[in-house]
Structure 1
Amino acid sequence: MEEFLMNRSSPGTSKSKVSLSLAKAIDGFLKFKTAEGLSQRTITSYEFTLGHWLKYIGDREVSDIQSSDLTGYMAWLRTEYKPRRWNGSSEPLSAKSIRNVWVTFRSFFGWLQVEFKFPNPAKEITAPKFQKHPVETFSKEDVEKILKACVYSRESQTEERKKFVMRRPSSNRDQAIVLMLLDTGLRATELCSLIVNDVDLKTGKVTIRHGVAGGAKGGKGRTVYLGKVARKAVWRYLASREDGDDPDAPLFISHADRAFNKDSLRVLINRLGDRAEIKKAYPHKFRHTFAITYLRSGGDVFTLQSLLGHGSLDMVRHYAQIAEVDVEQAHRKASPADNMRL
């Protein structure tokens, strides 16, 4: 890192005197962004995207990179690249994924321009267009089926017995997870980062800790709440665990007694969806369901923004449009200046 910093340009240094390989630049970029406090999820995304591009293009001098080196790679991703996914799918990358690559290039070369005065080849590339997917939610019937799938296995039948179902050993845990996702709108990483001490089962208060430990986007912690049904489910689950009273224990653990991560949580919800015969079951769909149901049940957009942890109203407005809630009317009702009669 010290050698890297010594190569950094200073005022008056011409760009031709700066020699920097892509591999070293990527390493420095990731360290700088980590020091800035970006979330681990963002850092991991940058690292994967830039590492993949480096393997494709080869380690070269930063000064030799042209816009065509970036657009050529993005075109290859669209047409020839076959991704390897956890579910075995090899479908082409979505337009949104291609746009994320463009965003990474903009950030990386923008940083190089500021720190080392290199030209920014990404600046000349137009943002790839993509069509936003409609927000998908679970219906009341869907949730009931998933909760039932938490408790019972698929129907089985042998030659000697009639059809039967068995109670699943993880039923209490799985129901508690589903109800917490539904009742709080937590992101997957936020739920997986919870420890027992973060949840007050008397009041329903759930604390998302600040910083990396809390798993929140941008490290911004907040407070959300559980209703009575979800609280009861979490209590029932913790009561069955030997470490249920340990304040530092993970709130939800897998069969291997390890804390869940976003990938294992996604697999769990996906399997529950399969058993319930519900297509497209994934953790973030509960977040959408929470937001839409909250607004349709009379919740206001500003409180929803706080509960979801959004920095702006943009996404909340999108939810409001779907729920047919008037944001302007909500502001009129809640306007501090108007209510103070100034």
Structure 2
Amino acid sequence: MHINPLTRLDFALTAFLTDGQARNLRPRTIDYYRQQVGWFLAYVTDSGATTPQDITPHPIRAYSVHLQQEREWADASIHTAAWAMRAFLQFLDADGMIAESPMKRVRMPRNDQPVKNPFSSDELKRIVAAARTQRDRPMVYCLLDSGCRISEFAGGRYGDLNLTTGAVHLGASSTKGRRARVVYLGAKARRELKKWVARFPTPSADTPLWQTENGQPLSPHSVREVIKRIGRAAKVSPCGPHRSRHTFAVSFLRNGGDVFSLQHFLGHALEMTRRYIALVDADLQAAHAKLGIVDRL
């Protein structure tokens, strides 16, 4: 295979992003790669690299240490940065810009972050009490009941919703893995949501479910800020959409749900879904310590 030793790093990044666009990756994914790989290339450029051939295992490891010690990134953030570097370097390998990806000789950084604790029963009661408006209360209920990602949730439309059955259709264009799926809302969430959508003058299928008082759609960032504000009022910290998703998952398993159904509702790979089992297993261990027959004799 012919390797061009004069390929510049900026050209390599442009080629990588163009390949992602050609493969129809989501715009958010392209932006994420642009940011993460751009930061990495700025680091190796400062270290003297000018072409892809200059990227060896050493600067890759040094960059991970830099993120950990100087930037003080969390383990999960360093891990995802390494995934972006690996995707970029694998592309250069496949496209003939380098002879072999140096990531083949670099071990991925560990990501031992446990699943975040779900909201407690007392925290949930305070959050609901703090969500006083006709929009905020159904927003809290629907986040907890659906287990949706914030990007999926904020993009919800009136036509996605069946208020009779509680089914919410998430189109492939709105989900992380580009796979359509259906999630559900319970009776209480549907009741509050009916009150909210009754305020819409003439809703169409494309009417955003979550909007301002002036009818402007809320962005994922805006929804996140609403939930944070409710959390501050309820004196619950941290309080955000992702913790609602954790709460949904753990509650589902604690109440007898199976891991394969949970995988569907979350839109996760099975391995990711299994992380929630560890937290529920801790519940079972604590229950056995209290209720085990022999220890109570």
Q: What CA deviation, in whole Å up to 9, does each residue of 1:62-112 have, x standing for no partner?
A: 22222233233332222333xxxxxxxxxx211221122211111111111
Q: Tell whether 2:164 aligns with 1:184.
A: no
Q: Give the one of 138, 149, 173 matched to 2:119.
A: 138
Q: Which residue of 1 aligns with 2:52?
A: 62
Aligned residues: 279
Matches within 5 A, 1:16-35: 17=4, 19-35=6-22
Alignment partners' CA distance in 1, 2:36 and 2:213: 32
Q: Which residue of 2 aligns with 1:95?
A: 75
Alignment partners' CA distance in 2, 1:79 and 1:257: 45
Alignment partners' CA distance in 2, 1:318 and 1:57: 34
Matches within 5 A, 1:28-43: 28-43=15-30
Q: Give the one of 222, 226, 233 matched to 2:185.
A: 226
Q: Relative to 1, partners in 2 of residues 1:79 and 1:322: Cα closer, same or farther, differing over 3 Å?
A: closer
* Structure exhibiting the larger radius of gyration computed from Cα positions: 1
Q: What CA deviation, in whole Å up to 9, does each residue of 1:112-135 have, x standing for no partner?
A: 101115132222222112322233
Q: Give the one of 116, 126, 131 matched to 2:107.
A: 126
Q: Which residue of 2 aligns with 1:284?
A: 242
Matched-pair contact (CA < 8 Å) for 1:38–1:218: no
Query: Could you state the TM-score of these two structures normalised by the residue count of structure 2?
Result: 0.86
Q: In structure 2, what residue type is equivalent to 1:268? A: V
Q: Tell whether 2:268 aligns with 1:317.
A: no
Q: Which residue of 2 aligns with 1:238?
A: 197
Q: Relative to 1, partners in 2 of residues 1:27 and 1:63: Cα closer, same or farther, differing over 3 Å?
A: same
Aligned residue for 1:207, secondary structure, equals: strand
Q: What CA deviation, in whole Å up to 9, does each residue of 1:263-302 have, x standing for no partner?
A: 2222221111111001111101111111222222232222
Matched-pair contact (CA < 8 Å) for 1:34–1:43: yes
Q: Which residue of 1 aligns with 2:252?
A: 294
Q: What CA deviation, in whole Å up to 9, does each residue of 1:190-224 have, x standing for no partner?
A: 1011111000111111000112xx2x111111011
Tell me the CA shift for residue 18 of structure 1: 5.1
Aligned residue for 1:172, secondary structure, equals: coil
Tell me the CA shift for residue 311 of structure 1: 3.1
Q: Relative to 1, partners in 2 of residues 1:186 and 1:126: Cα closer, same or farther, differing over 3 Å?
A: same
Q: Which residue of 2 aligns with 1:157?
A: none
Q: Which residue of 2 aligns with 1:275?
A: 233
Q: In structure 2, what residue type is equivalent to 1:253? A: Q
Q: In structure 2, what residue type is equivalent to 1:237? A: W
Q: Which residue of 1 aligns with 2:219?
A: 261
Q: In structure 2, what residue type is equivalent to 1:281? A: C
Q: In structure 1, what residue type is equivalent to 2:115? A: P
Q: Tell whether 2:66 aligns with 1:107.
A: no
Query: Could you state the TM-score of these two structures normalised by the residue count of structure 1?
Result: 0.75
Matches within 5 A, 1:64-83: 64-81=54-71
Q: Which of structures 1 and 2 has the larger relative contact order (alpha carbons within 8 angstroms, sep 6+)?
A: 2
Tell me the CA shift for residue 49 of structure 1: 0.8
Q: Relative to 1, partners in 2 of residues 1:311 and 1:134: Cα closer, same or farther, differing over 3 Å?
A: closer
Q: In structure 1, what residue type is equivalent to 2:43? A: Y
In structure 1, runs of 5+ residues without a counterpart are: 1-12, 82-91, 152-170, 327-342
Q: Which residue of 1 aligns with 2:156?
A: 194
Matched-pair contact (CA < 8 Å) for 2:52–2:97: no
Alignment partners' CA distance in 2, 1:116 and 1:54: 19
Q: In structure 2, what residue type is equivalent to 1:198? A: D
Q: In structure 2, what residue type is equivalent to 1:33? A: G
Aligned residue for 1:50, secondary structure, equals: helix
Alignment partners' CA distance in 2, 1:298 and 1:129: 31
